[in-house]
Amino acid sequence: MYRALISLIFAAAHTAAVSAATVTYDWEVTWVWAAPDGVGRPVIGINNTWPCPVIEASVGDVVVVNLLNKLGNETTGLHFHGINQINSNYMDGSVGSSQCPLPPEYSISYSFTANQAGTYWYHSHNMGQYPDGFRGPLIIHNPQDPYLSDYDADIIVTISDWYHDQSPKLVAQMLQPNNTKFQPPRPNSVLVNEGSDGLIHIEPGKTYRFRFINFAAMTAAFVGFNALQMQIIMIDGTYVQKNIANQLHILAAQRYDVLIAIGSNGKQNYPYLVALDTNADYTAKNAQPPIAFHNNFTGQLVNDFDGNLEGKSAIEQFYPQVDNLLLPFDNQTAFGPVAKQWILNFDFCKDANGYPRACFNGKTFIDQKVPTLYSVVSLGDNNTETSAYGQVNAITIGYGDVLEIIINNHDSAIHPFHLHGHQFQIIERPKSNTGNWTRTKLVPDTPVRRDTVAVFANSYAVLRIKANNPGVFLFHCHIEWHVEMGLSATLIEAPERLVNYEIPQEFFDICKAQDIPTTGNAAGNDDWYNTEGFVTIDPTSYIGALYVDTETSSPTSTSSTSPSKATPSSPNKKQGKRIADSWLE
């Protein structure tokens, strides 16, 4: 079942929506046993099934996901990657930033308007859970798609690195003082369509829209078709003018929509290659280890199931299309003038206890007691004071202003940086070893937009957004292991419009169930300047999303269509064992 689930061909993409609809999904988040690469392990699935299902809607639809946490002793949350959450920032799903974690046996309803077509994905934004399987495609169809007449059907292809150990164990091993080289966990294998055989049915003479999504926790992937060319039409939910590509280099969290035309000369199978890029920088001469390493996958586009299904695809030289050379379909000019610059210098660092961390401007991101959005909403006119939010690397920008984000990457590896709430313009992004940004040398007339950008090794990127989406949005590296090391920052956009912003009551209820304060500054203090109780040092032990049960009461299971009402509780000193771990013993 899981082999066919994600690589469905969506002929429905060509059915024009008569009117907006409400698309509802009732989900229980559960543990499932799976062996996508032949090695069995617990994964996080939906309704006792894995891979997780596809979310589909059309532009203008309202998407509702009723989420019930049945993980037993882990909290969770759900982020819709690439969905800007205009007027619904509280639905962003970033645990600790825009919401409290969802405890076991409680449910909440996520709801947002699908206001922009594209290829997106959803995943847990809670302590390394998406590498454990909690992720899936999210497709917003457009009846007025400018390329609708150019293809016959959709095909989703997801790519991911895969680990045989669960995330908490991997992160705990990484966050040790003896990890002096700041090494992240290395994957055991590559998955295509979450462990499918890679056989994708196609028909002669037809053109397909391939929607590539990289679910990886760390690695980029090269994708190439020996005998077929690709036409790029969209990146990260932004239409681009058609551009021919022979290869793609897709970083973690990025998406590419491409058209592939199949010849009409009868039955023929076409191999394709997916190679995980385990290099720090594939552009460097004599890069080591070899780019492909041992995590390669060859699949087949098949219209002859009686023919050769063992064909091989090889890439002799890696020269993928460079995304910032693409042109936006709408010819949107560069945002300006710039009202504020946000300069972020990325380095690896150590915390006060000598543990390996990742820092922006010398400070690692540390979760606080109050989710940042809840502080912003409750602090009134003082919500522009970034020191009120603790060590979440915050900046504020006023409504309508243009913000220029400059990332100086001091590492010798390429990193995928992602911004919630926006598709940013790529103003400048030079090659590796260019050094720090000093000044922007040339502003393109019509810069391309996307939500996750590759910043090259020992180099920089210049990005711009227009602050027209009030909310609290994370900016972070989308290597999940680096998020756990603290490589995140917080954009507080148009705080003046967030005073007394209305958040659904059920989101407050789950905070109350865990004794998490929802007003005041980072520590829950009414005086914004009172730093007593701020979290200033990371813990020296890592338990992931493990839920601390209550002494006096425990929540009651509830239907995912009827969110439970939380009750006050006090933390229990005893911590439960991660349920999935016990399956391995």
Tell the residue number behind the tokens 């970034």, with chain if given. Answer: 386
Shared-domain flag, residues 577 and 500: no
Cα separation, 327 vs 235, whole angstroms: 11
pTM of the entire predicted model = 0.91
Shortest CA distance to 75 belongs to which of 359, 363, 371? 371
Torsion angle (degrees, nearest 10) of CA 236, 348, 191, 124: -60
CATH assignment of the domain containing 323: 2.60.40.420
d(CA 315, CA 297): 12
Best CA proximity match to 46, nearest among 23, 78, 10: 78
The string of DSSP codes covering 355-422 is -EEEEETTB-----SS-HHHHHHHSGGGGG-GGGG-SS-EEEE-TT-EEEEEEEE-SSS-EEEEETT-
Is residue 20 included in any domain, yes or no? yes
Residue with tokens 């991911």: 160
Whether residue 436 lies inside any domain: the answer is yes
- Domain-embedded: residue 198: yes
DSSP state of 99: B
507 three-state secondary structure:
helix
The answer to whether residues 53 and 65 touch, using CB atoms and an 8 Å cutoff, is no
pLDDT in tens, the chain (585 residues): 333 333 333 333 333 344 689 999 999 999 999 999 999 999 999 999 999 999 999 999 999 999 999 999 899 999 999 999 999 999 999 999 999 999 999 999 999 999 999 999 999 999 999 999 999 999 999 999 999 999 999 999 999 999 999 999 999 999 999 999 999 999 999 999 999 999 999 999 999 999 999 999 999 999 999 889 999 999 999 999 999 999 999 999 999 999 999 999 878 999 999 999 878 888 886 655 555 456 889 999 999 999 989 888 877 777 787 898 899 999 999 999 999 999 999 999 999 999 999 999 999 999 999 999 999 999 999 999 999 999 999 999 999 999 999 999 999 999 999 999 999 999 999 999 999 999 998 999 999 999 999 999 999 999 999 999 999 999 999 999 999 999 999 999 999 999 989 999 999 999 999 999 999 999 999 999 999 999 999 999 999 999 866 543 443 333 232 223 232 222 222 233 334 443 333
Q: Which long-range contacts (CB under 8 A, 24 or more apart) does 537-543 make?
A: 537/351, 537/352, 537/353, 537/366, 538/351, 538/353, 538/355, 538/357, 538/364, 538/366, 538/486, 540/353, 540/355, 541/172, 542/168, 542/171, 542/172, 542/175, 542/484, 543/168, 543/575
- pLDDT of 204 reads 95
Is 406 in the same domain as 492?
yes
Are 356 and 259 found together in one domain?
Answer: no
- Rounded CA-CA distance 274/266 in Å is 26
Tokens 């995928």 belong to residue: 416
Among 348, 378, 371, 386, residue whose Cα is nearest residue 491? 386
Same domain for 88 and 29, yes or no, is yes
Which of 365, 188, 394, 391 has its CA nearest to residue 293? 188
- Report the alpha-carbon distance of residue 506 to residue 70 in Å, rounded: 17
Asked if residue 208 and residue 67 are part of one domain, the reply reads no
What pLDDT score does 283 carry? 85
| Structural domain for 487, as ranges | 340-513
For residue 162, tell me if it sits in a domain. no
Indicate if 302 and 367 belong to the same structural domain: no
> Among 470, 360, 362, 372, which Cα is nearest to 406's?
360
Of 8, 43, 46, the C-alpha closest to 26 is: 46
Shared domain check, 15 and 133: yes
Q: 354 with 488, same domain?
A: yes
Residue 96 and residue 210 in one domain: no
Question: Which residues pair with residue 92 across a beta bridge?
Answer: none
Can you give the three-state secondary structure of 256-308, one letter per residue?
Answer: EEEEEECCCCCCCCEEEEEEEECCCCCCCCCCCCCCCCCCEEEEEEECCCCCC
Computed on alpha carbons and rounded to an integer, the radius of gyration of the chain in Å comes to: 23
Q: Tell whether 358 and 318 lie within a shared domain.
A: no
Report the C-alpha gap between 211 and 139 in whole angstroms.
9
The residue among 490, 513, 536 that closes a domain is 513
| CB-based contact 105:553 (threshold 8 Å) | no
The DSSP line for 113-131 is E--S-EEEEEE--STT-GG
What are the Cα distances from residue 476, in Å, to 416, 451, 452, 463, 571? 8, 11, 9, 14, 30
Residue 21 in domain: yes
Residue 170 lies in a domain: no
Largest CA distance in the chain: 74
* DSSP letter (8 states) at residue 494: -
List the one residue out of 268, 295, 269, 293 whose CA is nearest residue 280: 293
**Phi and psi for 99 in degrees, rounded to 5?**
-160, 165
* CB contact at 8 A, 101 and 75: yes
- Tell me the β-bridge partners of 26: 66
Whether residues 317 and 350 share a domain: the answer is no
Give the separation between CA 179 and CA 205, rounded to whole angstroms.
54
Tell me if 375 is assigned to some domain: yes
Would you say residue 409 lies in a domain? yes
Specify whether 192 is located in the same domain as 280.
Answer: yes
**Coil vs helix vs strand at 14:** helix
Structurally, how many domains does the chain consist of?
3
CA quadruple 248, 250, 254, 255: dihedral positive or negative? positive
**Residues 95, 336: Cα–Cα separation, whole Å:** 32
Of 328, 362, 396, the last residue of a domain is: 328
